A and B are shown apart, each in its own frame.
Chain A
Amino acid sequence: MKFLCVECDRQMGFAERELPGDGTLAAVFTCPACNRQVAMLTNPMETQLVASLGVKIGGRTLPEQPMELLRSSMAGGRADAFADAPPAGKVHPSWDAAAKERLERVPAFVRGMVQRIYADYAAEQGIAVITPDMMDQARHELGLEGM
């Protein structure tokens, strides 16, 4: 899909994606000429239809994780189904207590994948300690649906 600023006849650029946590999605687009912004708001059914395909509105911001769709969508998974090891050779940042607590609230079935994504983000940004604020920032920038 593309968004066109009718006034300027210019294609609007993707600016950000927000997931308020109620099953809906907001994607913001900006006109490069007049800076006007529009938000595309999808209801839970529309959001789910796209999510079921394992694709991302606005494009992917990080590579698809192994079994990403299954792990983020399946209910009733075994807590110990997966053992996620940090990638070999990479030094990963530490987690402060509040970030750890927040991570513990993520369902065990998907926790390892979420942990890896946040850790990779922090490493790429040169962040030494993962905090809840950093998690919010990553969630916002990476569009981590349901994570």
Chain B
Amino acid sequence: MIAYFLRRLISAIPTLLAIITIAFFMMRIAPGGPFDTERRLPPEVEANLEKAYHLNEPLVAQYWDYLGGILHGDFGPSFRYKDFTVTELIRAGFPVSLKLGLSAIVIALVLGIAFGTYAALRQNRLGDHAVMGLAVTGIAIPNYVVAPLLTLVLGIYLGWLPVGGWNDGAFRNMILPVATLALPLIAYVTRLTRGSMIEVLRANYIRTARAKGLPMRLIVWRHALPAAILPVITYLGPAAAAVLTGSLVVEQIFGLPGIGRYFIQGALNRDYTLVMGVVIFYASLIILLNLMVDLLYALLDPKVSYR
């Protein structure tokens, strides 16, 4: 198991290197540069800026410099946010994105598994149809529609919740963004749980348990749920990715200081170092999460083992 873990970690290095290289050169191929803005700078001033950021050196030399910097944990200064280094920006933004994302995933798991199990147990009855109808709606409505609707009703018409801002992660400020992020996830988890639960409930060992006269609660909790939950665990990898990409939209709409927004803003501003920093950070995170999901899978499913 440990050998497997290490092997996976080592094999991540070439993947990361490829991502860094492709991202670095693609960023530079894109027309326009960090100083192409509405307010053009005179050439002599731009020359001073390019020198300050080493942009006047050959591209390949810049690439090696950049790789060297990464090895020392230095992602360089941001072009757009001149008073900060990229590391400082990610350090400031990540806790926000993490808090949002984790809350959304936890809520999605708890509610999704609960709803899914409920629907499975009432298969093809009113409760099932109601839950599944809601789930399909949840999947179908994109978060950039849900978010303004929620803020309009709960924030402006009713005045119950703040419509934006982070306020140091106050609970009130978290509710709407987390709800927006979690809704489609709840819907997915509900559907996944329902499907696999129905399948598991038909399995022979469940029938045996029933025949033994075990109470239904015990059967579901102890025997059915651990098996039914496996597809949900598999979904955690894509869910994490969905939360990351979803947070781009949610952070933008609610004006939250996470790192999701750096992706879009950084790319539009040609903030080379910031985009690279976020790309590397996200790539590492996704590689790590996928690895953890695989390991978790091995723990939960006796049929899977890694060597």
Decide whether A and B assemble into one complex. no
A residues in contact (CB < 8 Å) with B: none
B residues in contact (CB < 8 Å) with A: none
